[in-house]
């Protein structure tokens, strides 16, 4: 998996940070997560192909997460996109964007499909092949979901040496891949390590957008490879975070620690912070493997 941060500022663009948007590439699939103002400019600047995006996931209907969407769709149509685009978001995403498409995208060249989110419980979104995508309701001033992307488990590879040594048939190979044992002529089980090379463990990525601190959120994120969690404020503004239903860097780290995440990245920073080193340091006091992202930040995991 590869993640590119297009924007990591809260509420408004600044001279150094754009509003929320990022691209996840997983098993060859390209997903855009949130689409704040300036997203298509960032896509071009960072050499990310917007025509390869298969789905756009909108966490909630606040402008800093959605204002860039109509411009992006218009450009896709101008470039004669033909493949369908899936828009995943709150139910009112369609009523917001469809009239704008009609107004600004004359003779749109591709089909726009919609998948409305639900906010009463997590939901598996099954339209994406080879990747399991789950929406996770979180708590903000409007209905909001985070997203969890998990690779589907891959089959192990049966070793060529074992195929020749034991004269394995296609049925034997399928059986071994499915986890069944193989026995030699004497009835002794052949060690599985001699038969297969196990596939790498599935990787996963969680995007936790604007939310108040949720102490039980980690239950949905257990062992996630990479966790992005909003960290709008530092802990000295804990009261403001609670009032606006946002999180602090320390709270983001608490979620990562409880989830046993592989790595935490924090973003959605208040414009009051020109430098994010202090937010990163605050998170690292709780969860050492924490990094404050920036526009253009890229990680392969």
Query: What's the pTM value of the predicted model, to 2 decimals?
Result: 0.92
Distance CA 240, CA 233 (A): 8
Residue 135 CA to residue 127 CA, distance in Å, equals 13
For residue 127, the model assigns a pLDDT of 63
Q: Do 175 and 88 reside in the same domain of the chain?
A: no
pLDDT above 80: residue 126? no
What backbone torsions phi and psi does residue 78 show, to the nearest 5 degrees?
-60, -30
Domain boundary among 165, 197, 229: 197
Do residue 293 and residue 162 come from a single domain?
no
Q: How many domains does the chain have?
A: 2
Alpha carbon distance 83, 25 (integer Å) = 18
Residues 117 and 166 in one domain: no
User: 191 and 205: one domain?
Assistant: no
Rounded CA-CA distance 73/135 in Å is: 23
Spatial CA neighbour of 248 closest among 294, 207, 280? 280
pLDDT, tens only, 208-244: 999 999 999 999 999 999 999 999 999 999 999 999 9
Confidence band (pLDDT; 50, 70, 90) for 194? very high
* Mean pLDDT on 164-170: 92
The whole-number pLDDT of residue 270 equals 98
Q: Which residue has the tokens 């033909």?
A: 82
- Six-digit token string for 204: 């996963």
Q: Average pLDDT for residues 191-204, to the nearest whole number?
A: 93
Active-site pick, 64, 143, 210, 295: 64
Pair (161, 61) in one structural domain? no
Say which CATH number the domain at 132 has.
3.60.15.10
Q: Tell me if 91 sits within 8 A of 60, measured CB to CB.
A: no
Residues forming beta bridges with residue 24, ordered by sequence position: 3, 31
The reply to whether 64 belongs to the active site is: yes
User: Is residue 268 domain-shared with residue 251, that is, in the same domain?
Assistant: yes
Q: Quick one: pLDDT at residue 130? A: 87
Domain region containing 175: 157-197
Q: Worst-scoring range by mean pLDDT, 50-59, 138-147, 170-179, 215-224?
A: 170-179
- 274/205 same-domain check: yes
């Amino acid at each position: 998996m590869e993640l590119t941060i297009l924007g990591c500022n809260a509420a408004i663009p600044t001279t150094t940070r754009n509003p929320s948007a990022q691209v996840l590439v997983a098993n060859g699939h390209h997903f855009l997560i949130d689409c704040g103002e300036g997203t298509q400019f960032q896509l071009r600047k960072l050499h990310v192909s917007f025509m390869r995006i298969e789905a756009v996931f909108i966490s909630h209907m606040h402008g800093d997460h959605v204002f860039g969407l109509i411009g992006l769709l218009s450009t896709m149509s101008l470039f004669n996109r033909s493949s369908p685009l899936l828009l995943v978001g709150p139910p009112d995403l369609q009523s917001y964007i469809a009239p704008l498409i009609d107004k600004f995208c004359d003779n749109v060249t591709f089909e726009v499909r919609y998948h409305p989110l639900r906010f009463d419980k997590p939901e598996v979104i099954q339209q994406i092949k080879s990747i399991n995508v789950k929406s996770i309701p979180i708590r903000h001033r409007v209905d909001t979901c985070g997203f969890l992307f998990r690779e589907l488990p891959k089959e192990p590879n049966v070793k060529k040496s074992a195929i020749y040594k034991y004269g394995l048939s296609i049925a034997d190979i399928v059986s071994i891949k499915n986890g069944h044992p193989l026995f030699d002529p004497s009835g002794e089980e052949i060690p599985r390590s001699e038969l297969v090379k196990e596939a790498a463990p599935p990787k996963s990525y969680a995007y936790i957008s604007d939310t108040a601190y949720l102490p039980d959120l980690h239950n949905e994120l257990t062992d996630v490879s990479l966790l992005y969690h909003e960290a709008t404020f530092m802990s000295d503004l804990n009261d403001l975070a609670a009032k606006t239903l946002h999180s602090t860097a320390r709270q983001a780290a608490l979620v990562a620690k409880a989830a046993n995440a592989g790595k935490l990245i924090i973003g959605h920073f208040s414009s009051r912070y020109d430098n994010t080193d202090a937010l990163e340091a605050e998170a690292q006091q709780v969860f050492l493997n924490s990094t404050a992202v920036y526009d253009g930040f890229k990680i392969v995991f």
